[in-house]
Structure 1
Amino acid sequence: MTRQKIEIKKIDNITARQVTFSKRRRGLFKKARELSTLCDAEIALIVFSSTGKLFDYASSSVQQVIERRGMLSETERLDHPSIEYDRDTLSMLSKEEANKVRELRQLNGEELEGLNTNELQKLEEQLEKGLRRVSKAKDELMFKGLDELKRKRTQLMEENQRLKQVMRNVAQEQGQSSESVNIGSIFDPPLEDDSSDTSLRLGLSLFK
C-alpha cells in the first residue's frame, strides 16, 4: 500500500499540528546530525513552534555558528545566500529589474506604446536633462583641451626665448656683439635662395 501524499499547507487542527511539528522537528534534527557527521559540516538549526517554544540543534554551538556567519564579508554572504532571500524578495528584485530595462528601452525610443501624455512628457523631460548633461560634459572637455593647448603654446614661447638668450650668450663669448648676430633668423624659416637661378641666367647670356 502506497503512502498518501500530504498537501503542503497549514494544518488547521491544533492537536494534529503539534503532533506533526514534533515528528518533523525530530526528523529535521536527525537529518542535520547525519549531514554534519557525514560531511563534517558545521550546522545550527533554530526552530520556534507556533506556541513560541524554542528548539535548536548545533553540531558544535549555535552561538559559535552565528558568530562565524557574522564574520563573513558582504561578498561572501551574496555568494552563500541565506533563507532571507525568499521568493517574495526574488520576485520583487525581478520586477525591479524588468522596470529598469523597460525604462532604458523607452529612453532609446522603444516600447512607447501604451504611454499616456503625462508619461511621454516626463520621458521627454528626462531626455532633455540627459542631453543638457552630455552637452555640458562635452563643453567642459573642449575647454579643457583649449586650456591645454594654451599652456603648451606658452611653454614653447618661453623655450624659444630661452634658446635665443643662449645663442646671444654664445655669440658674446666668441667676441661677437649681439647686434651683429641675427638671432631671430635662426628660429625663423629660411628664405628661398635664388642665387642658382641668377647664375643660370648669367651663363646663358654669354652664349647669346
Structure 2
Amino acid sequence: MVRVKVNLQRLQNPANRRVTFSKRKAGLLKKASELSVLCDAEIGLIIFSATEKLHEFASPSMNRIIGKYKKDCALIGHHIELLEHIQTLHLELENLQKETTHSEKVCKHMIGEDLDVLKFKELQKLEKKISLGARKIRLRKEKLLRLESANLERKIGRNHKACHLNVDIIEGVNDYLETDAATQQDLPQTNLNLT
C-alpha cells in the first residue's frame, strides 16, 4: 500500500478534527513511550486539546523533567549572556586596537616618520597641525617665562628693600655711635678718687 502525502491544514469538520486528534495523540504518546524505553531517554510530553483538556506523558516524572528543563534554560540563558558579553568585549578590543594603531600612525607622522604614505594634502594638514602645536607651545613657554620673570623681579625687589633697610640700620647705628662719641668728648673729665 502506497502512503499518500497528507496536505497539512486545519480540518474544517469538527468531528474529523476530534478523531484525527485522538489518533495522532495516541500515536505521539506511543512514539514517546517507545523512545523512552528504547533509548533510555527522559521524555516529557504535554498536549492541550482544543477543549483545553490536558494530556501528558513523562518518563520518569514530569516535575523532574521540568526541573531539568528550567535548569538547562537558566544555564543556556547564562551562557548566552556570557557570549554576548564576550562579543561586546571583542568589539571594544577591536575598536581600541584600531584607535591605538591610528594613534601610533599619527604620532609617527608628527615626529616625521612614515611620511612616504601621506599624500600632498595630508602633508599640508600635518604641517598646519605641527605649526599650530608649535605656536601653542611657544605661547605657553612665553607665559611661563613671564611668570618666572615676575617672580624673580618680586624677589629682587624684596631683597633690594631688605638691603636698603640694612643700609639704613647701619647708617643709623653709625650716626648713633658718632653722636655718642661726640657727646662723650664734650663731657668734662672728672676724677673720682674716693680714698
TM-score by length of 2: 0.47
Instruction: Considering fraction of residues, name the structure with more helix.
Output: 2
Larger Rg: 2
Which structure is richer in relative contact order (CA contacts within 8 A, separation 6 or more)?
2
